[in-house]
Amino acid sequence: MVTSKYTFMDDRQSREALVQAMAKPIRDEYLDYKFVKKEAGFPGRVLIIYTLRNRVPANFDRVLLMNFGVDQAGPIVYASSEGQGVYHIGSVPMKWRGREVFFQVPQTFELKWRGRTSEKGVEFSPLYAVLVKTRSRVDEQIDEHTYCETLNEFRARFPGIPMRY
């Protein structure tokens, strides 16, 4: 019988190990944040990051989710932000460009092919999940907190603020 001194961690231990892989000051900040949301992602999806100031959103950052890939560390979602290059969102939580928002690919990575109709007929694109962690729930809308919403959610919440793709 072959035995190994290596064993797989359970999900909780794996999650803790991913967080421990972060640099200490950022890890401490990540652990202070309270709200995690699973967001549907697909190539072309736009997420809006903003900070609430006097009940008005300010300091915008448009995040464009792109395709995904896989390497030895696991799945990666590629994202860009207004000409700032391509960022890799992986299994270890990452702070987005110094903002109070963390992105991560969920431990259980699920990939679907979703069809949609267009003038060309039915087109298929990958559908995956991205975890978004913020200091507080977006519905709370606390001044000086930073939030992340889909473009459509942002438009519904703040109809008077023009935001395009």
Q: Identify the bridge partners of residue 61 per DSSP, sorted by sequence position.
A: 49
Domain ranges within the chain, ordered by starting residue = 29-157
The token duo for 161 is 């603020």
pLDDT of residue 1: 54
Which contacts of 10-19 are long-range, i.e. CB under 8 A and separated by 24 or more positions?
11/107, 14/107, 15/107, 18/91, 18/92, 18/93, 18/104, 18/107, 19/92, 19/93
154: tokens are: 């942002």
pLDDT at 3 over 80: no
Work out the average pLDDT over 114-118: 88
pLDDT at position 5 over 80? no
CA distance 67 to 78: 6
Residue 56, pLDDT score: 95
Predicted pLDDT at 84: 84
More confident site: 2 or 161: 161
What 3-state DSSP class applies to 133? strand
15-66: pLDDT as tens digits: 999 999 999 999 999 999 999 999 999 999 999 999 999 999 999 999 999 9
User: Residue 126's closest CA among 111, 116, 144?
Assistant: 111
pLDDT in tens, 62-112: 999 999 999 888 899 999 998 789 999 999 999 999 999 999 999 988 889
Q: Which two tokens stand for residue 33?
A: 């944040």
Give the number of other Cβ atoms within 10 Å of residue 104's Cβ.
Answer: 22
Residues constituting the chain: 165
Whole-structure pTM value: 0.89
Is the per-residue pLDDT at 2 higher than 60?
no
